[in-house]
Structure 1
């Protein structure tokens, strides 16, 4: 763990490019078993490959992954993408979404402090929450933290519902400014393609500058 921490700090010294921190908060509960978890795994892999191949984003984008299922885990911490490998996603357990989102917020806050100490500029952090059900724990604390950060323009949240069982009303509590979207079938591929393009667009802007999202492109993978 100490070695990993040192590498994360070295990345900031060796590459002072302004960063786009993104945390993927992924439901790996038992209901995701089979095709859903396989398609999610492929989609995440595709996202990483797209960022690696983008000559600007590969130096700017930093990704972390939090999974929630039988436990809540930091599956991947922030680091240069060239040092990262996509973790294997395994479906098991309940849906402790509140704990998962809380851990993700903590990781984003810690990485922002790293940036400040290193004198590295950064863009508004992104959080992508993907779930096929509804939480089996309390999300009130996580929702309150998100509401405060979003109001201060310190966080962008994308809640994505997988399948018809996902509760859009509950997801909406985690996204005060943007309605949650429901994935068309298991179309993770188009979603992560859209996400990589959106992130690439942000990485080519100036930190603090408002970036227009590709709203038209959403119809390829999702619906309200």
Structure 2
């Protein structure tokens, strides 16, 4: 069975402290439970989570959905090293993703979701990594800016698919990750018929940035 790799890059800098980080944990858990109810996703979906603040951590390596265990994200602290997060993603995805050859088909095009409530603290590295990430040929890259301090323009440098959430409260993040789940399931079912993943209409809590 060909795999659909999905990567999440999650901002856990100091500004996520308090309700936002708890809301993020709850919303992620709900998304995983929703995906597990889809039989096809359970067969093909592999998920990785990378968190970033002043340090970057591969919280969960690329893991098949039935075996996926979501650890609680705690202690948000420090700056927003988005560039370092993209650097680790590039390193991991370059080795994680199976290429096709004459004898077997490779993985489906991976999906990437980057969620941040700020702007990169390492802007030079962030800019350097953008063409390298694009060269990995993701099926879709979604950038999600959360709150007033998030920089839509920086995410626009990475992808045309940028959405903005007004707040990081439980209800808003729950609706966002429900939309993410719908996107993944849609992508999973359309693989093999299209090269890119069309995003479903977002809920009212999710504003697409044009």
Q: Smaller-chain TM-score range?
A: 0.7 to 0.9
Partner residue in 2 for 1:212: 198
Structure 1 residue matching 2:135: 3-state secondary structure: helix
Q: In the alignment, does 2:177 pair up with 1:192?
A: yes
Provide the C-alpha distance between the structure 2 equivalents of 1:92 and 1:115, rounded to a whole number of angstroms: 40
Provide the C-alpha distance between the structure 2 equivalents of 1:102 and 1:118, rounded to a whole number of angstroms: 31
Deviations 1:71-126 (A, max 9, x none): 10100011222222112212111111000012112222212137779945422111
Q: For the aligned residues, what is the CA RMSD? A: 2.2
Partner residue in 2 for 1:38: 22
**Which of the pair is proportionally richer in strand?**
2
Which of residues 152, 156, 159 is equivalent to 2:143?
A: 159
Provide the C-alpha distance between the structure 2 equivalents of 1:219 and 1:174, rounded to a whole number of angstroms: 24
Change (3 A) 1:103 1:155: farther
Deviations 1:1-55 (A, max 9, x none): xxxxxxxxxxxxxxxx221111100000011001111111111111111111111
Structure 2 residue matching 1:62: 3-state secondary structure: strand
Q: In the alignment, does 2:82 pair up with 1:107?
A: no
Change (3 A) 1:143 1:84: same
- Give the conservation status (yes or no) of the 8 Å contact 2:5–2:110: yes
Aligned ranges 1:167-178 → 2 under 5 Å:
167-175=151-159, 178=160
Scaled by the length of structure 2, the TM-score of the pair is: 0.87
- Give the conservation status (yes or no) of the 8 Å contact 2:143–2:163: yes
The unaligned stretches of length 5 or more in structure 2 are: none
**Which of the pair is proportionally richer in helix?**
1
Partner residue in 2 for 1:67: 51
Aligned ranges 1:49-128 → 2 under 5 Å:
49-90=33-74, 91-113=76-98, 119=104, 121-128=106-113
Provide the C-alpha distance between the structure 2 equivalents of 1:116 and 1:89, rounded to a whole number of angstroms: 38
Change (3 A) 1:123 1:102: same
Count of matched residue pairs? 202
- Give the conservation status (yes or no) of the 8 Å contact 2:117–2:147: yes
Provide the C-alpha distance between the structure 1 equivalents of 2:68 and 2:26, rounded to a whole number of angstroms: 16
Please list every run of at least 4 consecutive aligned residues from structure 1 whose deviation after the TM superposition is greater than 4 angstroms: 114-118
Provide the C-alpha distance between the structure 1 equivalents of 2:90 and 2:108, rounded to a whole number of angstroms: 15
Change (3 A) 1:120 1:85: farther
Deviations 1:114-140 (A, max 9, x none): 777994542211111111111111312
Provide the C-alpha distance between the structure 1 equivalents of 2:175 and 2:120, rounded to a whole number of angstroms: 26
